[in-house]
Amino acid sequence: MRPAYEEIYLRHAKELVLNLRRDKDLSYKQLCLRLEAYDVRISEQSLSNKLNRGLYSFGFALLMLNVMGETSIKVPKLLGTRPQRRS
């Protein structure tokens, strides 16, 4: 079982990559073609599975951000934060 802090950041990293793909309206096929420029050969289905599971290395996450045209990211302070209570 992973520590709570790791789960929080893994979930955030997964959401970051998936939301960016959606916001840029990129298909898995387009991403696969862009990855080929880095000698990464992966099928659309495998890439979809990998991104939706969210279990990939930090290096792979950076590669995905790069092929989607992101040049910088903001690292959020997720630890030590608590959900706001509704009044």
pLDDT at 37: 96
Domain interval for residue 52: 4-67
> Has residue 82 been placed in a domain?
no
Each residue's pLDDT, cut to its tens digit, for the chain (87 residues) gives: 878 878 888 888 999 999 999 999 999 999 999 999 999 999 999 999 999 999 899 999 999 999 999 999 888 787 665 545 555
Work out how many domains the chain is built from and give that number: 1
Q: Establish if 86 belongs to a structural domain.
A: no
Residue length, the chain? 87
pLDDT at 34: 98
Residue 58 lies in a domain: yes
Contact 17, 65 (CB under 8 A): yes
Residue 53: the pLDDT is 94
What is the full DSSP assignment across 27-85?
Answer: -HHHHHHHHHTTT----HHHHHHHHHHT---HHHHHHHHHHTT---------TT--PPP
Please, what is the Cα angle at 60 between 73 and 70, to 5 degrees?
30
pTM attached to this predicted model: 0.81
